Amino acid sequence: MAMNLPRNPTRSVRIGSITIGANAPIAVQSMTATPTQDVDATVAQIQALHAAGADVVRVAVDSKHDAHALAEIRRQTTTNLVVDLQENYRLAEVVAPHVDKLRYNPGHLYHHEQEKPWQEKVRYLAQVAADEDCAIRVGVNCGSVDPAKRAEFAADDSVGPMIASALDHCVALDELGFTRYCVSLKDSDLRKVIEVNRRFAEARPDVPLHLGVTEAGMPPDGIIKTRIALEQLISRGIGDTIRVSLTVSNTRKPEEIDAGRQILEDIAAGRVRSVVDYGLDTLNIISCPSCSRVENEAFVELAEQVKEMTRYAADHAITIAVMGCRVNGPGETDDADLGLWCGPNYVNLKRGAETLGQFGYEEILPRLKSELDAVIAFKTSKPIT
Question: What is the C-alpha to C-alpha distance for residues 329 and 339, in angstroms, rounded to an integer?
Answer: 9
Q: For residue 133, what are the CA distances in angstroms to 10, 77, 181, 212, 241?
A: 20, 18, 12, 25, 20
Instruction: Give one DSSP letter per residue of 361-383, joined into a string.
Output: TTTHHHHHHHHHHHHHHHHHTS-
Domain assignment present for 278: no
| 307 and 238 inside one domain | no
Domain assignment present for 212: yes
H or E segment at 250? Answer: none
Higher pLDDT, 6 or 381: 6
Domain assignment present for 304: yes
| 18 and 92 inside one domain | yes
3-state SS record for 287-330 = ECCCCCCCCCCHHHHHHHHHHHHHHHHCCCCCEEEEECCCCCHH
Domain count, the chain: 2
| 329 and 200 inside one domain | no
Question: b/e for 18-48, b at 16 or more Cβ within 10 A?
Answer: ebbbeebebbbbbbbbbbbbebebbbbbbbb
| 173 and 299 inside one domain | no
Question: What is the C-alpha to C-alpha distance for residues 227 and 154, in angstroms, rounded to an integer?
Answer: 30
* Domain harbouring 54, CATH code: 3.20.20.20
Average pLDDT of the chain? 90
Higher pLDDT, 41 or 144: 41
Decide which of 268, 299, 327 is a domain's last residue.
Answer: 268
| 25 and 63 inside one domain | yes
Decide which of 268, 294, 325 is a domain's last residue.
Answer: 268
Q: Is 269 exposed, middle or buried (0-12, 13-18, 19+ CB in 10 A)?
A: exposed
| 222 and 174 inside one domain | yes
| 258 and 349 inside one domain | no
Domain assignment present for 279: no
Q: For residue 279, what are the CA distances in angstroms to 142, 153, 157, 223, 275?
A: 19, 24, 18, 17, 10
Average pLDDT over residues 342-366: 92
SS3 127: helix
| 165 and 189 inside one domain | yes
* Residue pair 288/215 in contact by the 8 Å Cβ criterion: yes
Domain assignment present for 7: no
| 262 and 294 inside one domain | no
Domain hosting 348: range is: 284-380
Average pLDDT over residues 68-86: 95
Question: What is the C-alpha to C-alpha distance for residues 294 and 104, in angstroms, rounded to an integer?
Answer: 19
Q: What single-letter amino acid sits at 242?
A: I
Question: What is the C-alpha to C-alpha distance for residues 66 and 355, in angstroms, rounded to an integer?
Answer: 31
Q: Give yes or no for residue 198 having a pLDDT over 80.
A: yes
* Domain harbouring 320, CATH code: 3.30.413.10
SS3 121: helix
Domain assignment present for 227: yes
- Backbone angles phi and psi of 127, in degrees to 5: -65, -45
Domain assignment present for 153: yes
For residue 254, whether the previous peptide bond is cis, meaning omega lies within 30 degrees of 0, is no
- Model confidence over 141-185: pLDDT tens digits? 988 898 889 999 999 999 999 999 999 999 999 999 999 999 999
Strands 338-342 and 346-351, by their bridges, are: antiparallel
Sign of CA dihedral 208, 214, 220, 226: negative
Domain assignment present for 133: yes
The DSSP secondary-structure symbol of 61 reads -
| 251 and 288 inside one domain | no
* Residue pair 263/244 in contact by the 8 Å Cβ criterion: yes
- Model confidence over 237-296: pLDDT tens digits? 999 999 999 999 999 999 999 999 999 998 888 776 533 233 447 888 877 766 777 777
* Residue pair 239/230 in contact by the 8 Å Cβ criterion: yes
Decide which of 240, 268, 296 is a domain's last residue.
Answer: 268
| 94 and 200 inside one domain | yes
Tell me the pLDDT band of 380, cut-offs 50, 70 and 90.
confident
| 323 and 233 inside one domain | no
